[in-house]
Amino acid sequence: MKLLVLLVIGVILYFIARNYKTEKFENIKLDIKERFNGDLMNHEAGLLIALMAKVAKADGQVSELEAEMLKHTFTDISSHFENSSEIREKLKEIYEKEKNSFDNTISICEKLYKITKHDYVKRVKILEYLLNLAFIDKEFSKTEFMITEDISNALQIKKADFETLVNRFENFYRDQKNSEALSLDKAYEVLQSSANDDDSTLKKNYRNLVKKHHPDIISGQGASQDIIDQATKKLQEINQAYELVKKHRGI
């Protein structure tokens, strides 16, 4: 079964920075489900998980987002098999084993290359999926670069295609970071505060603004409906700004 043709249509993860939206595995329908009882390290599914294990552990630790992506990948891949529960457990076993060593990375790639030898597009999509995992915590370390580059070379992917994918992710996260910074600056402006204010000052400013723009208070002052509506909109903006700053500060 051409499992990875289905699995790597685009780079999945609905939560890559919670914004990089692509196909979910659950939206891909199969007319026939495969039953596989052999060694998954001879199957595209197992080899993909093995490489994901290497990439996830490349910088020495598996982040929360990487773990979440792996969990969903186990579920999504196994759902395409009749014996899904058994396959999911085997995929988890492969991950736990393969994350502990990088010595066999190239040999795993060679196995995968043999299976996908005549499908270059599929191999590029596999690499894109692995880069998705590497970038998902918004940090692309030197070790992650090295291992994904090694995988790319072993899968005989053109250097230009590898660089194009890396640049695409780097640009996406750079743009997102800039957007977040602008949004945060705007939030402080709305709250009539600054990033240098401590939490108590921020909270005090927020409460004062709520009192000033709360529609119930405005209504009690005999204001017109238009002014009350404006106050309601302003209060929503103030609340949104406060939630953004709180999230950024971890309070």
Q: What is the mean pLDDT of the chain?
A: 85
- DSSP class per residue in 42-57: GSHHHHHHHHHHHHHT
Burial of 159 (C-beta count, 10 Å sphere; 0-12/13-18/19+): exposed
pLDDT at 77 over 60: yes
CA 244 to chain centre: 20
| pTM confidence score | 0.66
**C-alpha closest to that of 3 among 108, 62, 76:** 76
Query: What confidence tens digit (pLDDT) does each residue in 199-215 have?
Result: 999 999 999 999 999 88
Average pLDDT over residues 73-95: 92
> What is the per-residue pLDDT across 169-199, written as a single tens digit (0 to 9) for each?
999 888 888 777 768 889 999 999 999 999 9
Ordered alpha helix ranges (H), the chain: 3-7, 44-56, 64-78, 84-98, 105-115, 120-135, 142-154, 159-190, 199-213, 215-220, 225-249
Q: How far apart are CA 140 and CA 128, in angstroms?
A: 14
